[in-house]
Amino acid sequence: MTAKKITLALLLLAGTAPALAETPKDFVAKYAAEAGAGFKPSAARGKELFSKEFGASRDMPSCTTCHTRDLKASGKHVITGKIIDPLSPAVNAERFTSAKKIEKWFKRNCNEVLGRECTPAEKADFIQFAIEGGKA
Ligand code: HEC
């Protein structure tokens, strides 16, 4: 490719990328729509879900076990000890931008902590909570 063509390709990419990218708010809207007519996402309910001890697992009683009580802080996997980057989109621009990633981790983490999958309503509430500060 010539330099001119590369520049053109980059310009095209820059022009289309924002339209394709999904934001945390898009996912709140998507899950809220799945939750049904009249559902209103609530950061307060998201906070409750985040800090509640469900008792399904002895090792990981709540989301805070790995993510700490502050989504703007780094977490630590309670079993592997691996550092987990903050879940708050305010400090981590990659968060809640990939449907595949969100679904994968909601599925795994909810099954572990709650002993079941999270509902669309719970997912909408949780992402709303993360957007609005994410401190429990
Ligand atoms: C056993 C440790 C652990 C627990 C408990 C846990 N998580 Fe996670 N979570 C992780 C790891 C590891 C990742 C993926 C690593 C990364 O993205 O940095 C992750 C990623 C996520 C993501 C992906 C966000 C994105 O778009 O990048 C969401 C959503 C999430 N967790 C929600 C929850 C919720 C809700 C709970 C409680 C029901 C919870 N987690 C409990 C370890 C945990």
Asked whether the predicted pLDDT for residue 26 surpasses 60, the reply is yes
**In angstroms, rounded to a whole number, what is the distance separating the alpha carbons of residues 90 and 93?**
7
pLDDT band at 15 (very low <50, low <70, confident <90, very high): low
**In angstroms, rounded to a whole number, what is the distance separating the alpha carbons of residues 6 and 99?**
30
What region does 115 belong to: left with phi over 0, alpha with psi -120 to 50, or beta? left
pLDDT digit string, tens, across residues 70-116: 999 999 999 999 999 999 999 999 999 999 999 999 999 999 999 99
| CATH at 106 | 1.10.760.10
Give the number of other Cβ atoms within 10 Å of residue 4's Cβ.
8
Q: Which of 67, 85, 107, 117 to mutate to test the pocket of ligand 1 (most atoms within 8 A of CB)?
A: 67
In a domain, 52, yes or no: yes
What region does 135 belong to: left with phi over 0, alpha with psi -120 to 50, or beta? beta
What predicted TM-score, i.e. pTM, was given to this entire model? 0.88
Name the 3-class secondary structure at 99.
helix
Mean pLDDT (whole number) for 32-51 = 98
Quick check: 45 and 52 in contact, CB under 8 A? no
pLDDT band at 7 (very low <50, low <70, confident <90, very high): low
In a domain, 29, yes or no: yes
In a domain, 15, yes or no: no
Task: Give kind and range of the element (H or E) at residue 75.
Answer: strand 75-76
Asked whether the predicted pLDDT for residue 11 surpasses 90, the reply is no
Length of the chain: 136
Domain tally, the chain:
1
In a domain, 1, yes or no: no
In a domain, 99, yes or no: yes
In a domain, 113, yes or no: yes
Range of the domain at 110: 21-132
In a domain, 39, yes or no: yes
Ligand 1: centre distance to CA 4 (Å): 43
